[in-house]
Amino acid sequence: MGAAYIIALLGLTAAAFYLGRARGAGLRTSGARAHSLPVYHGWYTGLAAAIPMLLVFTLWSPLAPRLIEHRVLSELPAALQPADDLARAAVLRDISNAAQGGALADQASPEVRQAAATFGNLTSASDWLRLAAGLGLGVFGLVWSLPQVSREFRARNHVERVVLLLLLASSAVAVLTTIGIVASLLFESLRFFAQYPWYKFLFGLQWSPQIAMREDQVGQSGAFGFIPILGGTMLITLIAMAVAAPVGLLSAIYMAEYATPRFRAIAKPLLEILAGVPTVVFGFFAALTVAPLVRAAGASIGLDVASESALAAGLVMGIMIIPFVSSLSDDVINAVPQFLRDGSYALGATKAETIKKVVLPAAFAGIVSAMMLAVSRAVGETMIVVMAAGLSGNLTFNPLDAVTTITVQIKTLLVGDQEFDSVKTLSAFALGLVLFFFTLSLNTIALKLVKKYREQYD
Partner 1 sequence: MDATAVSRADIAASAPVKVVARGVDVYYGDKHALKDVSVAIPERSIMAFIGPSGCGKSTFLRCLNRMNDTISICRVTGSIVIDGADIYDTAVDPVELRSRVGMVFQKANPFPKSIFENVAYGPRIHALAATKADLDAIVESSLRKASLWDEVKDRLHDSGTGLSGGQQQRLCIARTIAINPSIILMDEPCSALDPIATARIEELMEELKQNYTIIIVTHSMQQAARVSQRTAFFHLGTLVEEGDTTSMFTNPREQKTQDYITGRFG
Partner 2 sequence: MTEPVARTLRMLPPKPTGFSGADVQQRLSQRRRADARFRAYGLAAIALAILSLFLILADVTGKALPAFTQSTLRLDVPVTSEHVDASAPKAGDYEATVRNALRGLFPEVQSRADRKALDSLLSTGAADALRHRVVADPALIGQIIASKALLSSDADLYVKGVSAKVSTAAGVGAAKPSATSGAVTLDLAPDALAGVLATDLAATTTAAAAPVTLDTTTPSLLLALNGGIVKITSLASGKAEGEILVPLTTADAAAAGAWRHILIATPETSRKINDRQIAFLELLADKSAIERHFNFAFFGRGDSREPELAGILGGLMGTAYTMLVTLGLCLPVGVAAAIYLEEFAPRNRLTDLIEVNINNLAAVPSIVFGLLGLAVFLNVFGLPRSSPLVGGLVLALLVMPTIIIASRAALKAVPPSIREAAVGIGATRQQAIFHHVLPVAMPGIMTGAIIGMAHALGETAPLLMIGMVAFIADVPGSPADAATVLPVQIFLWSDLPEAGFQSKTAAAILVLLAFLVVMNGLAIWLRKKFERRW
Residues numbered 410-449 forming contacts with partner 2, rule: CB under 8 A: 410-411, 414-415, 420, 428-429, 432, 435-436, 439-440, 443-444, 447
Q: Which of 1, 67, 250, 297 binds partner 2 (CB under 8 A)?
A: 250
How many residues are recorded in the chain? 458
- For residue 352, the minimal CB distance to partner 2 (Å) is 4
- For residue 21, the minimal CB distance to partner 1 (Å) is 12
- Under rule CB under 8 A, residue 80 binds partner 2: no
- For residue 28, the minimal CB distance to partner 1 (Å) is 6
- Under rule CB under 8 A, residue 366 binds partner 1: no
- For residue 147, the minimal CB distance to partner 1 (Å) is 21
Inter-residue contact 317 to 241 (CB < 8 Å): no
Binding mask 199-238 for partner 2 (x = CB under 8 A): ----------------------------------------
How far apart CA 381 and CA 279 sit, in angstroms, is 8
Concatenating the DSSP letter of every residue in 50-117 gives HHHHHHHHHHHHHHHHHHHHHHHHHHS-GGG--SSHHHHHHHHHHHHHHHTT-TTGGGS-HHHHHHHH
How far apart CA 354 and CA 69 sit, in angstroms, is 75
- For residue 203, the minimal CB distance to partner 2 (Å) is 23
Q: Which is nearer to partner 2, 135 or 237 (CB)?
A: 237
Only one of the segments 69-77, 142-150, 182-190, 197-205 lies at the binding site for partner 2 (rule: CB under 8 A); that segment is 182-190
Inter-residue contact 154 to 35 (CB < 8 Å): yes
Only one of the segments 33-41, 263-271, 314-322, 416-424 lies at the binding site for partner 1 (rule: CB under 8 A); that segment is 33-41
Other beta carbons within 10 Å of 287 = 20
Residues in binding contact with partner 1, number by CB under 8 A: 8
Residue 38 contact partner, candidates partner 2, partner 1, none, CB within 5 to 8 A by sort of partner: partner 1
Residues 256-275 that bind partner 2 (CB under 8 A): 257-258, 267, 269-274
Q: Which is nearer to partner 2, 135 or 369 (CB)?
A: 369
Residues 266-325 that bind partner 2 (CB under 8 A): 267, 269-274, 276-285, 287-289, 319, 322-323
Residue 33 contact partner, candidates partner 2, partner 1, none, CB within 5 to 8 A by sort of partner: partner 1
Inter-residue contact 248 to 329 (CB < 8 Å): yes
Q: How far apart are the first and last CA of the chain?
A: 59
- Under rule CB under 8 A, residue 34 binds partner 1: yes
Only one of the segments 143-151, 227-235, 306-314, 378-386 lies at the binding site for partner 2 (rule: CB under 8 A); that segment is 378-386
Q: Which of 2, 7, 26, 28 binds partner 1 (CB under 8 A)?
A: 28
How far apart CA 23 and CA 46 sit, in angstroms, is 13
Taken in order 240, 242, 245, 250, the sign of the CA dihedral is negative
Residues 139-168 that bind partner 1 (CB under 8 A): 154, 157
Residues 386-415 that bind partner 2 (CB under 8 A): 386-387, 407, 410-411, 414-415
- For residue 27, the minimal CB distance to partner 1 (Å) is 9
How far apart CA 321 and CA 415 sit, in angstroms, is 26
Phi, psi of 116 (to 5 degrees): -65, -40
Calculate the alpha carbon distances from 185 to 142, 321, 434 in Å: 44, 27, 9
Contacts 24+ apart (CB under 8 A), 41-44: 41/149, 41/153, 41/155, 42/16, 42/17, 42/18, 43/17, 43/155, 43/159, 44/20, 44/145, 44/148, 44/149, 44/155, 44/158, 44/159
How far apart CA 98 and CA 104 sit, in angstroms, is 7
Summarize as ranges the residues that interact with partner 1 (CB under 8 A): 28, 33-35, 37-38, 154, 157
